[in-house]
Structure 1
Amino acid sequence: MEGKTVFVDGALPGESVLMQYSSVRGKFDEGYVKEVLSRSADRVKPPCEFFEICGGCSLQHMSSEAQIEFKQSILKEHFEHFGNVQPETWLEPLQLDTLGYRKKARLGIRFVTKKDSCLVGFREKRSNFLAEIESCAVLMPKVSELIVPLRNLIGSMDAKQSTPQIELAAGDDALAFVVRHMEPLSEQDKEKWLNFAEENDIHLYFQPKGPDTVHKVWPNDNNDRLHYQLPDFDVELAFHPMDFTQVNTSVNRAMVSLAIDLLELNGEERVLDLFCGLGNFTIPLAKKSKAVIGVEGVDSMVKRGYENAKRNNLENVDFYQADLQQDFSEKEWAKEGFDKILIDPPRSGALDVVQYLPKFGASRVVYVSCNPSTLARDAGVLKEQGYRLVKAGVMDMFPHTAHVESIAVFERNN
């Protein structure tokens, strides 16, 4: 507007809207829609009745088809802007469950004294306050149905002012709640939580301080693992509720299968899996390769990787701990050669890895990314290192949000 870029929350391309400014900056301004004057054909009725107030989702007013096209356009623009590179072929977008998909989340909790009411959920749009919601269209249905019971439960407790959040995690077999409490719970509050967990078949954990204080309180079975399966590979992975796992089961299963297909394995390769976590790719890779090395920065995840290898009777896989954002060239595993490499870094990307990559000698690299800007930056570096970007595409891991999950394939030039 008037020669200056304005980002308008809630507007779709091609629409005319009345907007309210929310911030004025140097290079661009921000605002939000007050009224839609002319509608885009891509505008739809949001599936969640709380979309207008809740900040958990940002794109429910856009059709699913338009959302995935929007995310692919973001990836394309980032490749151009940050990497000066484009894929030779665009992969078909991967989009599956768009509602009830979220199996991992952090729910905020706040007791509002003036209303004598407890709020459970996500922050309001353009606010740090919690939104007053009674359900959530993207959380797995069981959790969505428990939002009102949770509000009532916590509102009845002595600790209603000192319980700031619940971490939830679900496997294929069970749902777990990790309840953060800032003060010791009374016996009455403990009893209420235990009854709630038993009635709703929830694995219940309390967290009085830091992450190392998380402990299971129900059921009392000395088993703190959840599980998920990757049916295409006939494997099952175990994880702790506080471990990093993907939020969307159906997309994760499809993503793992796609990534391994794109590596084009014949069963005789040595494969390197970097930023491997608990073995989400490593374990199925071991079913398709001669040998696999998984490298991960968090020591507890390395232990989980070995646990999952043993669980699946795999002896051709090893795990190592290393900070892959630092110089790792003196590590023994880094001096070995590999035929194929899979990379799945955090949002900061894999700059140190891609700079070192040619020394591994791999002919093909599959890069799974949760941040298109760092993927594009790293793609530019790989181009300089003698690799071609042969394929790329987006995967809708977080439908109805602007989060862009993507995958790219690089081949070494002859």
Structure 2
Amino acid sequence: MPVGVIESLDHEARGIARQDGKTVFVDGALPGETVEYASFRRKPSYELAHLVKILKPSNARVEPLCPHFGVCGGCVMQHMEPAAQVAAKQRVLEDSLWRIGRVRPESMLPPIHGAPWGYRHRARLGVRKIDAEKGVMIGFHEWRSSYIADIKQCSVLRPDVSRLLLPLRELFASLSVVDRLQQLEISVGEHCVALLLRILAPLNSNDQRLLREFADFHQVVFYLQPKGPDSITRFYPTAGPRLSYTLPEFDLEFDFLPTDFTQVNHAVNQVMVRRALRLLDPQPGERIADMFCGLGNFTLPIARSGAHVLGVEGSQGLVKRGRESARINGLADRVEFGVANLFECTEKTIRAFGAFDKMLIDPPREGAIELVRSLGECKPARIVYVSCHPGTLARDAAVLVNTHGYRFVTAGAVNMFPHTAHVESIAVFEQP
């Protein structure tokens, strides 16, 4: 059995060892460990391997809290001490910036992190009926599999939501249309817990009664989605608590639908917005762009500073709810929203938006390559880039630095998803 010394973690939280000129990626191994491994895929320059035995453990290795760890694919780093996870993600960010973009910031920001357990306010879980005896399974997908993990609790969900998993299994097993129930989407708001059922058949009267009784007893709100996103309806109770989240520091509240994109970690989101605003430093009278603005998570805090903000987003529905939030929060006179596909933007698109003093960019995992390429003569003095993928940030940073001449001022990791390999970050670019 081959033996390797683990040097670091990659972007999927696999241990990296070097052996005979090859890079070996070992699932479950931690930096500093000496391990035995078994390769399951061999390529000319690398191998993928399973951990067989730990010969010398890392000081950062801990016992996973969740009994489903190793099977459930929701978490991949519970065997690593939370502070060490944060440090490892900061290194992944630095390594990606240099290896992919050949860029380095002038300084590194301290990582943003929060509570490692009970932080998830959103989750999308699969639902599967097994048989009459075993009933229904609810869970994330198994690690590197399309099968649903049979979980009975989840340590990263809010505890009150985790406690709903077993009662929900019983409820779903009793529905006449359980075979057509594909997915459960959980959204925890400031005032309620919303449960969206993707169910491809109509409920009969008994099904409806069971859902109403469950909602009343557990104080949750059911939404139904029989078809596409436009088919979502609030089933029960039809009136009552709003589904919303808040940014108390900016005196803001945002209403959203269960399928709208919102950050899963409300506490870390509040710190991230605070940092982004400090780095952007919006001033009264400035004109600022918020690209990929979504519901206005950054747009409205920027407007609170007195600046005028244009939020641009590809989804008409998100823009509609962003405008409504601006109105409810008393910011409609400082905020303008526009709908545009920023994945296909050109210099002409950017010029049509007008001139900006500063810009915030918060794209999905695909990054913002067409946007940064298209800045042309419309380059703002400062760009704050909030990223959810260090690889695409590195690629886009190279364009900003090498094509447009920006200084890469600073960057730092954001641990939005403890115990996962997901790395978010904030980066700042300035015109010299």
Q: 2:36 is aligned with what amino acid?
A: L
Partner of 2:117: 99
Change (3 A) 1:257 1:358: farther
* Residues 201/328 of structure 1: CA separation in 2 closer, same or farther (3 Å cut): farther
- Is this contact kept in 2: 1:4–1:28, CA < 8 A? yes
Structure-to-structure mapping, 1:260-409, within 5 angstroms = 260-314=277-331, 315-331=333-349, 334-384=352-402, 385-409=404-428
Q: What amino acid is aligned across from residue 286 of structure 1 in structure 2?
A: A
**Partners of 2:173 and 2:292 in 1: CA distance:** 41
Displacement of 1:266 after TM fit? 2.9
Paired with 1:338 and 1:25, the residues of 2 have a C-alpha distance of: 48
SS at match of 1:161: helix
Which residue of the partner structure matches residue 222 of structure 2? Answer: 204
Q: Matches of 1:209 and 1:304 in 2, distance apart?
A: 21
SS of structure 2 residue aligned to 1:176? strand
Secondary structure of 2:377 counterpart: helix
Q: Give the root-mean-square deviation of aligned CA atoms.
A: 1.8
Q: Confirm or deny: 8 A CA contact 1:224 1:240 kept in the other structure.
A: no
Deviation at 1:364, TM superposition (A): 0.8
Give CA-to-partner distance per residue, 1:27-82, whole Å, 9 cap, x none: 42222223322210010111212213211100000011111111111111111122
For residues 160 and 26 of structure 1, do their structure 2 counterparts lie closer, same or farther at Cα, with a shift above 3 Å needed? Answer: farther
Contact residue 408 and residue 429 of structure 2 kept, 8 A: yes
Shift of 1:335: 4.6
CA distance in 2, matches of 1:351, 1:331: 14
Distance across 2 between alignment mates of 1:19 and 1:130 = 27
Q: Match for 1:4: what amino acid?
A: K
2:5 alignment partner in structure 1: none
- The counterpart of 1:229, out of the listed 237, 246, 257, is 246
Q: Secondary structure at the match of 1:360?
A: coil
The Cα offsets for residues 91-128 of structure 1, whole Å up to 9 and x where unpaired, read as: 01001121111111101111222852311111222332
**1:125 maps to amino acid:** W
| Structure 1 Cα separation of the partners of residues 131 and 48 of structure 2 | 33
Moved more, 305-314 or 28-37: 28-37
Any conservation in 2 of the 1:101–1:140 contact (CA below 8 Å)? yes
CA distance in 2, matches of 1:291, 1:199: 46
Aligned partner of 2:415: which letter? D
- Say whether residues 1:218 and 2:236 are aligned partners: yes
How far has the Cα of 1:360 moved from its partner? 2.5
Structure 2: which 5+ residue stretches go unaligned?
1-18
Contact 2:264-2:416 within 8 A present in 1 as well: yes
Rate the CA distance shift 1:72–1:188 in 2: closer, same or farther, 3 A: same
Aligned in 2, Cα 1:23/1:146: closer, same or farther, shift over 3 Å? farther
Q: 1:110 — aligned with what?
A: 128
Does residue 175 of structure 2 align to residue 157 of structure 1?
A: yes
CA distance in 1, matches of 2:418, 2:57: 22
Matched, 1:259 2:276: yes
The answer to whether the 8 A contact 1:225-1:240 is kept is no
CA distance in 1, matches of 2:71, 2:132: 20
1:74 to 88, 92, 97: 92
For 2:123, the aligned partner's letter is A
Question: How many corresponding residue pairs?
Answer: 412
Assess if the C-alpha contact under 8 Å between 2:191 and 2:241 holds in 1: no
Deviations along 1:264-298, one digit per CA (max 9) or x if unpaired, are 23323111110001100001100113311111111
Q: Give the distance between the partners of 1:8 and 1:347, measured in 2 at CA.
A: 24
TM-score scaled by length of structure 1: 0.95
Structure 1 residue 212: Cα displacement: 1.5
Q: Say if 2:166 is the partner of 1:144.
A: no
Q: Deviations over 1:221-263 (max 9, x none)?
A: 2x79511111111111111111110000001111111001001
Q: In the alignment, what sits opposite 1:126? A: 144
Amino acid in the other structure paired with 2:414: M
For the residue of structure 2 that corresponds to 1:125, the secondary structure is coil
The CA distance in 1 between the partners of 2:288 and 2:241, in whole Å, is 31
Matched, 1:244 2:261: yes
Question: Does the 8 A contact of 1:54 with 1:124 survive in 2?
Answer: yes
In 2 relative to 1, CA 119–20 (structure 1 residues): closer, same or farther, beyond 3 Å?
Answer: farther
Q: Distance in 2 between matches of 1:241 and 1:129?
A: 24
Q: Deviations over 1:174-226 (max 9, x none)?
A: 110110112222322222122111211111011112222111111122x7951
* Corresponding residue for residue 410 of structure 1: 429
* Amino acid across the alignment from 1:210: G
